[in-house]
Amino acid sequence: MFKKIALPVIGILLALSIVFGASSVLASEGNPPADDWMEDGDFPDWFMIAAEALNMDDDAFWTAFEDGKTIEEIAKEKGVDAQIIVDAIVAAETEFVKEFDSVEDFSQEEIDEWLEILPEEAKFFVEEGWDFEEFEGADWFTIAGKALGMDEDALWEALEDGKNLADLAKEQGVSQEKVVEAIVAAERIFISEMVTEGELTQEEADEWIAELDEEAKSFVEEGWDFEEFEGADWFSIAGEALNMDEDALWEALEGSKNLADLAKDQGISQEKIIEAILAEEQTFIKEMVTEGELTQEEADEWISELDEEVKFFVEEGWDFEEFEGADWFSIAGEALTMDEDALWEALESGESIADLAKTQGVALEKITDEILSAENEYTAQLLTDGEITQEEADEWNGMLAEELESFANESWDCEEEVE
């Protein structure tokens, strides 16, 4: 739906991966010590260490944390020196890392390097603001769309225009309570399944359910400002500079051309696109500074990297199909003589490809044979292009029959996924 690149967001995620990188990698080897702040087989839980240093139980800590406060701010409110938390994290992590002195995969030099930067990373962790948005269980947006009688595109277009679900319910002549009740019902089913599968205790489920009505009501009445941190839409700007509409632009990009190629085709200088993107992005950054979302120092650092990032963006080849293989769903839909919407509506209702084949009077073998043929052709092309070795091709082909059987008989309950 969103054909955009969020370069700043990617940068943030990369930065966060550094914080936990060493621990998560090291945790895959050996047996860490068991202690109050960790469970057997896990690396130190920095959040739990912080909560214990603050003398806060899990619920109180996460309530404060999810309200947008940093650990440092919580420490200040509790009258605790933030350095105590940093020291506790460093001590736990150091003890954990020492368990890997004899692991062949990690040299002493690598361990020493991690320990050297550890105080700085722990300090960053304590001072950093963590903006969590958690939508687990049923897909509340999908459920709301169905209750409102709106398809996905129409729902998201309305939400992106600043309307909330309560506004849409009023426009559609649907009671807000109907949307809330649909969400609560679906979420209760999900919670019940979690209890049955042993992923939640009944006590945890009851606690979740107790808050559900209020959470669903808030969700329906909430205004979703999706564009708050998006920045400029580089693809849209490029399309305007190239005088190409969205469909034509994406068709060309998916055909393996890059923006520089398209500029040449259109008789437009590559620099015109770069300058247009830079201008929009700098305007956005200035607005972030004005609104207090960024410091001037952060803005200057972002701007200093922009020229290189935008140039790369324009010259990069967007090979979206490089590792996609055959589109099994598309092939199945054609064999079943079902269009994309009808196919996915059936799959999302819990039917499998095998069920649909029976309903449509199509032999399941016809579908699997067509997929197998397309996949073999794709694999052969990868082999010819040097993208994979013969050994890798043989290994994949050896797995295909089992993968196809699973694909055909799988029930695609798309609403169970975490949002």
Tell which phi-psi region holds residue 192, choosing left (phi > 0), alpha (psi between -120 and 50) or beta. Answer: alpha
Count of domains for the chain: 4
320 lies in a domain? no
**52-66, 179-193, 223-237: range with lowest mean pLDDT:** 223-237
Q: How confident is the model at residue 356 (pLDDT cuts 50, 70, 90)?
A: very high
Please tell me the predicted confidence (pLDDT) of residue 383: 82
Which of 164, 197, 221 is the C-terminal boundary of a domain? 221
Which residue type is seen at 19? Answer: V
Distance CA(347)–CA(410), nearest Å, equals: 9
Summarize pLDDT for 117-131 with one digit per residue, the tens. Answer: 889 888 988 887 654
Per-residue pLDDT band for 27 (boundaries 50, 70, 90) equals: very low
Average pLDDT over residues 308-312: 88
Q: What percent of the chain has pLDDT over 70?
A: 78
Burial zone of 399 (CB within 10 Å; 0-12 exposed, 13-18 middle, 19+ buried): exposed
The pLDDT score that the predictor gives to residue 233 is 82
Q: Are residues 83 and 155 in the same domain?
A: no
278, 332: one domain:
no
The predicted model gives 8-27 an average pLDDT of 32
pLDDT digits (tens, 9 = 90+) for 379-393: 888 888 777 788 778
119, 181: one domain: no
Contact present, 151 and 158 (Cβ < 8 Å): no
Task: Answer yes or no: is 370 within a domain.
Answer: yes
When pLDDT is cut at 50, 70 and 90, the band that residue 345 belongs to is: confident
Q: How far apart are CA 49 and CA 34, in angstroms?
A: 14
The four Cα atoms 94, 95, 98, 103 give a dihedral, to 10 degrees, of: -110
249, part of any domain: yes
Q: What is the mean pLDDT of residues 181-200?
A: 87
Find the domain containing 341 and state its range.
328-414
- What distance in Å separates the CA atoms of residue 37 and residue 232, rounded to the nearest whole number? 42
Query: Do 25 and 90 have their domain in common?
Result: yes
Same domain, 26 and 115: yes
d(CA 188, CA 359): 31
In a domain, 273, yes or no: yes
Report how far residue 263's alpha carbon sits from residue 233's, in angstroms, rounded to the nearest whole number.
Answer: 18
With CA atoms as reference, report the closest residue to 219 among 147, 160, 150, 144: 144
**Arithmetic mean of pLDDT, 224-244:** 75
Question: Considering 181, 196, 221, which residue would you say is the last residue of a domain?
Answer: 221
Q: CB within 8 A of 27, min separation 6: which ones?
A: 41, 42, 43
At 281-300, the pLDDT tens digits run 898 888 888 887 778 888 88
pLDDT, average across residues 344-364: 89
SS3 content of the chain, % helix, strand, coil (to 5): 70, 0, 30
| Residue 135 within a domain | no
Examine the domain organization and report whether 150 and 177 are in the same domain: yes
Distance separating alpha carbons of residues 284 and 290, to the nearest angstrom:
10
The predicted pLDDT at position 4 comes to 26
- 179 and 215 co-located in one domain: yes
pLDDT digits (tens, 9 = 90+) for 55-89: 888 778 877 776 678 899 999 999 999 999 999 99
Q: Is the confidence at residue 229, as pLDDT, over 50?
A: no
pLDDT of residue 190: 86
Q: Which pLDDT value is given to residue 174?
A: 93
In the predicted structure, residue 41 carries a pLDDT above the cut 50: no
Residue 63: the pLDDT is 77
Residue 211 and residue 245 share a domain: no
Strand-pairing partners, residue 35, are: 38
Residue 227 has pLDDT above 70, yes or no: no
* Amino acid 36: pLDDT: 37
Over residues 35-60, the mean pLDDT reads 70
pLDDT over threshold 80, residue 24: no
pLDDT at 13 over 60: no
Helix (H) / strand (E) containing 59: helix 58-66
Residue with tokens 């990698």, as numbered in its chain: 25
Q: Which residues have CB under 8 Å from 112's CB, separation 6+?
A: none
Q: Do 69 and 40 belong to one domain?
A: yes
pLDDT category at 225 given cuts 50, 70, 90 is low
User: Rounded to whole angstroms, how far apart are CA atoms 202 and 196?
Assistant: 9
Among 290, 315, 340, give the residue marking a domain's end.
Answer: 315
pLDDT tops 70 at residue 169? yes
Residue with tokens 């009077």: 361
Q: Of 239 and 109, which is predicted with more confidence?
A: 239
207 in the same domain as 266:
no
Q: Is residue 226 part of a domain?
A: no
Residue 13 lies in a domain: yes
Residue 394 has pLDDT above 50, yes or no: yes
The verdict on 50 and 110 lying in the same domain is yes
Contacts of 195 (CB under 8 A, 6+ apart): 201, 202, 205
Does 99 score more than 70 pLDDT?
no
172 and 119: one domain? no
Using a CB cutoff of 8 Å and minimum separation of 24, what contacts does 152-155 make?
152/1, 153/1
With pLDDT > 90 as the criterion, what percentage of the chain qualifies? 23
Q: Does residue 134 lie in a domain region?
A: no
